Amino acid sequence: MSRVYNFSAGPAALPEEVLKQAQEEMLDWRGSGMSVMEMSHRGKEFMSIAEQAESDLRELMAIPDNYKVLFLQGGASGQFAMIPLNLRKKGVFNYLNTGSWSKKAIAEAKRYGEVNIAGATPDGEFTVPAQDSLSIDASGDYLHYTPNETIQGIEFPYIPECGDMPLIADFSSTILSRPVDVSKYGIIYAGAQKNIGPAGLTVVIIREDLIADDAGDAPTMMTYKTHAGSDSMYNTPPTYGWYLAGLVFDWLKRNGGLTAMAEVNERKAKALYQAIDQSGFYNNPVDPNCRSWMNVPFTLANAELDATFLAEAGEAGLKTLKGHRSVGGMRASIYNAMPEAGVQALIEFMADFEKRNG
Ligand SMILES: *Cc1c(COP(=O)(O)O)cnc(C)c1O
């Protein structure tokens, strides 16, 4: 068996140690005689798995006690609807529009109220609006933004300031990449398939005062109160994804937590951007102040070489480097599970390819 370096944006690579542990525990989870997949979500074995995962995530992210952690389904895209449905009071929502995922969140929010675009990245630019340029509607129910735009590879270098208004963030592609001050946020949410675990699980970290007692006509399954009031067991949760997320949290703790992760992630990103910037052949269009640590898009000087680049990279064991169809070129997603050796292998391949084709 040989494993490749998988640069997929999501579902993305998982730590090999985690996969091996899951493999060892597949048929008989710790003497239970069952796979985690086969367990009742209300049985004591799964309850212990669920509680351990939550407590490890709380420890890793230093989540304050007045926040609930929810393990849901429906993806980050489901949150695009749940947020306005549950938080609307005045029905005015502030959004920052910095890329493809912001746009999708905005389109969904418009179905439930009026959206004020409090700041935006102009078309064709690769940056984020400055804090002092934001025009936040003070009557808004919240301010929503996307700290890391997975497709454009743009990342906020600052946490937007919005006073007492709840700040809501789609952390799908940057959660767990470094420490974050959770107390600055009303809600942090993320689809699991980038930096947490397998697809099918969505993690929501929500300040308790934002869990409305009455979410109007929102469907029961789309109401935070439903899930917060039942420890995410109102219906059958995605048990296997929850378990695997727990194994990832444990792996992160064993490897020094988010401070250690941040050091490695910063080194990986710096090395790759440096290789791109120093070549006359590769280009990354993003303002250096807001370059993503997790998703690195780049183009070749000659787009006719894209297919050859991808084919040869694939033969060298470097997979899933094709850029998003809306941006073109390449994209290397280098989440927590991508080892530094994988990034080094990519850099060496790129240099060699440039030598032969540049
Ligand atoms: C992948 C991604 C999404 C979509 O997540 P789903 O779980 O597929 O709904 C939303 N926002 C960001 C920033 C993403 O990277």
The domain segmentation of the chain, as residue ranges, is 17-254, 256-357
Mean residue pLDDT of the chain comes to 97
Cα gap 53→24, rounded to integer Å: 19
Given a cut of 90, whether residue 353 has pLDDT beyond it is yes
What phi, psi does 223 have (nearest 5°)? Answer: -110, 125
| Top mutation candidate among 71, 77, 100 for ligand 1, by most atoms within 8 Å of CB | 77
Q: In angstroms, what is the span from residue 32 Cα to ligand 1's centroid?
A: 35
Cα gap 131→23, rounded to integer Å: 47
The secondary element (H helix, E strand) that includes residue 100 is: helix 100-109
Q: In angstroms, what is the span from residue 194 Cα to ligand 1's centroid?
A: 9
Q: In angstroms, what is the span from residue 173 Cα to ligand 1's centroid?
A: 7
Average pLDDT of the segment spanning 65-88 = 98
What sections of 10-74 are H helices per DSSP? 16-24, 44-61
Q: How is residue 93 written in tokens?
A: 């929502």
Confidence of residue 255 (pLDDT cuts 50, 70, 90): very high
Given a cut of 80, whether residue 1 has pLDDT beyond it is no
Confidence of residue 344 (pLDDT cuts 50, 70, 90): very high
Q: In angstroms, what is the span from residue 292 Cα to ligand 1's centroid?
A: 15
| Top mutation candidate among 170, 171, 331 for ligand 1, by most atoms within 8 Å of CB | 170
R_g over Cα of the chain: 21
Residues composing the chain: 358
CA distance readout (Å), 49 to 69, 108, 122, 245, 246:
15, 34, 45, 10, 7
pLDDT of 319-331, one tens digit each? Answer: 999 999 888 899 9
Average pLDDT of the segment spanning 203-219 = 95
The residues that are catalytic are 101, 170, 194
Average pLDDT of the segment spanning 283-291 = 96
Query: What are the beta bridge partners of residue 25?
Result: none
Residues with CB under 6 A from ligand 1: 10, 75-77, 101, 146, 150, 170, 172-173, 191, 194
Q: In CATH, what number does 17-254 get?
A: 3.40.640.10
Average pLDDT of the segment spanning 48-52 = 98
CA distance readout (Å), 218 to 166, 193, 224, 237:
20, 26, 10, 19
CB 277 within 8 A of CB 354: no
Average pLDDT of the segment spanning 141-168 = 98
pLDDT of 21-39, one tens digit each? Answer: 999 999 999 999 999 999 9
Q: Per CATH, which fold does 256-357 belong to?
A: Aspartate Aminotransferase, domain 1 (3.90.1150)
Given a cut of 80, whether residue 279 has pLDDT beyond it is yes
Please name the residue whose Cα sits nearest to atom 5 of ligand 1.
76
Cα gap 55→63, rounded to integer Å: 10
pLDDT score recorded for residue 334: 98
pTM of the model: 0.98
- How far does the chain reach from its first CA to its final CA, in angstroms? 34
Please name the residue whose Cα sits nearest to atom 3 of ligand 1.
76
User: Which DSSP letter does residue 322 get?
Assistant: B
